[in-house]
Structure 1
Amino acid sequence: MGAWALSFLLVGLVLAPLVVKAAGVTNYSRLTATDKSFLVLANQVAETVVGIAVIKRTIGGFDPLPEEADLFKTSWREPFSKPRGWLTWALLGMVLSPAVIGITVTIVSYAGYEAVGGQGTADGVARIISLDLPTYASLLAVTGILAPFLEETVFRGFLLTTLTKWMPTPAAVVLSATAFGLAHLSPRDLPQLIALGTLLGFSYVRSRNLLTPMIIHGAWNSVVLTVLFALTASGVNVSEMLSSGS
């Protein structure tokens, strides 16, 4: 996990800025929203490729899974078979995710949880939303496909399954979900991220197929992105809305 985190930071904070500078971009703020979305897409592609390579290199020639588990796999076979049908659990997770997030928001609101500082997970995307198809397509590829693919491989396929060697599966699910939430560096959204990560973890354990949490994760992100674009199209300033917490 340390090697993956280091590679993620090096790509995002060192390699990407160097490539952008080499391309002749000297003032990021003057780029159009479409150009910014293309840069975000390119950065996510690089982080995904490097991240998966690091995970595979770390695993090397040994199997990090408990002998009784058949996890860390991606297979399109038997989507509705019982009891492990990956698409069955994915559809159930897609239905449950809004309820899980909504209940979590309600609980933390009544509990008085209030993060100091920081930004939400949607804030960065909201700043570069532009009502054109290339921008939407680029951001959809990042949030709905690449990010779920990388994050589910790291936090469910690698971290969760490795933790099951040393602790009960439910504890591994919650601990990996907590790591998933913390990795987003978003104190404001931390409870919701942990709740979503827990749902993703249990869906993965039930299906034993990474396609399940990837689909749930991608669907959730895609819906959120689409809602932000729809609000922007209706004249709402989504950046101000998100910063005000409304």
Structure 2
Amino acid sequence: MALWFGSFVGVGFVLVPQLYRAAGLSLYDLSPEDKATFTLVCQAVETAVSLLLVRLLTAGPIERSGSSSQQLGLFNYSPAAPFSKPRGWAFWGLCGMLASPAVVGGMATLLGAVGYEKAVGGQGTVDGVAGMIDLDLPTYLSLLAVTGVLAPILEETVFRGFLLTSLSRFMPTWAAVVASAGFFGLAHLSPRDLPVLSALGLLLGWSYVRSRNLLTPILIHGAWNSGVLTVLFWLASEGVDVQQLISEMREAAAAAS
């Protein structure tokens, strides 16, 4: 996990920015469309490097054990039997998609009631996306590829396929789900969103345990991210200042608490 996090930071904060600077591009002067493209490039490289790293670090132990990765419960992406009982990956994916608004909304409501966001301050993960919202299709598609496809594949492979599965060999499964959800929240480097992301991580971990197939949390994660992104773009298309709206919603929540 330490090596993966190091590679993630190295690619996103060092390698790709340096390549942009070497090409004579200033990261501070990028248009919203160019920022979305930069995010896509970062995420694509991070995903490729991280998946390769995880695979290289686990291939040896899997081979020495004399078992396949699927027998160990690691990295199962099989699309077979999507609705079969009791572990149909698509069935549990649909259940998770229906439950995710309640899980995230419930946690957000609780945080607002206790004044957590006001006490913590700072920006949330949605703020970074809101700053790139523009009313053109290329920007939307770039961000959709990042949030709806690449990020779910990478994060579910690392936090559910590798971390949760590994931890379940040393602790009860429920504890492994909780621990991996906590690490999932921390990895986003957003104290404001930590409880909400951890709650979502609990749902993703639970769905993975039910199906034992990474396609399930990838589906839930991708659907949630894509839904949020699409709503933001729809609001922008209606003339709403998304960043201002987010700020006003937070001020209203803080006043109510």
Smaller-chain TM-score bracket: over 0.9
| Cα distance, 1:238 vs structure 2 | 1.2
Normalised to the residue count of structure 1, the TM-score between the two structures is: 0.94
The partner residue of 1:93 within 85, 91, 96 is 96
- The question of whether the paired residues in 2 share the 8 Å contact of 1:41 and 1:141 is answered with yes
- The question of whether the paired residues in 1 share the 8 Å contact of 2:147 and 2:222 is answered with yes
1:144 match: 148
Between the aligned partners of 2:212 and 2:197, the Cα distance in structure 1 is 21
Normalised to the residue count of structure 2, the TM-score between the two structures is: 0.90
Equivalent positions of 1:1-246 (< 5 A) are 1-25=1-25, 27-63=26-62, 70-114=73-117, 115-244=119-248, 245=250
15-24 vs 60-69, which moves further: 60-69
| Cα distance, 1:111 vs structure 2 | 2.9
| Cα distance, 1:243 vs structure 2 | 3.4
| Cα distance, 1:22 vs structure 2 | 1.6
- The question of whether the paired residues in 2 share the 8 Å contact of 1:72 and 1:161 is answered with no
- The question of whether the paired residues in 1 share the 8 Å contact of 2:73 and 2:165 is answered with no
Between the aligned partners of 1:77 and 1:167, the Cα distance in structure 2 is 29
Amino acid at match of 2:150: L
110-119 vs 196-205, which moves further: 110-119
Mind listing any 5+ residue stretches in structure 1 that lack a counterpart?
Answer: none
SS class of match (1:60): helix
Structure 1 runs of 4+ off > 6 angstroms? 64-68
SS class of match (1:79): coil
Between the aligned partners of 2:115 and 2:127, the Cα distance in structure 1 is 22
SS class of match (2:123): coil
- The question of whether the paired residues in 2 share the 8 Å contact of 1:101 and 1:195 is answered with yes
Between the aligned partners of 2:121 and 2:53, the Cα distance in structure 1 is 32
Aligned residues: 245
165-174 vs 59-68, which moves further: 59-68
1:15-45 superposed Cα distances (whole Å, 9 cap, x missing partner): 01111012220x3232221111111101100
| Cα distance, 1:55 vs structure 2 | 0.6
Between the aligned partners of 1:239 and 1:29, the Cα distance in structure 2 is 18
Q: Which has the higher helix share?
A: 2
Amino acid at match of 1:14: V
| Cα distance, 1:187 vs structure 2 | 1.2
2:255 match: none
Check 1:92–1:74 CA distance in 2 against 1; reply closer, same or farther (3 A cut).
same
103-112 vs 82-91, which moves further: 103-112
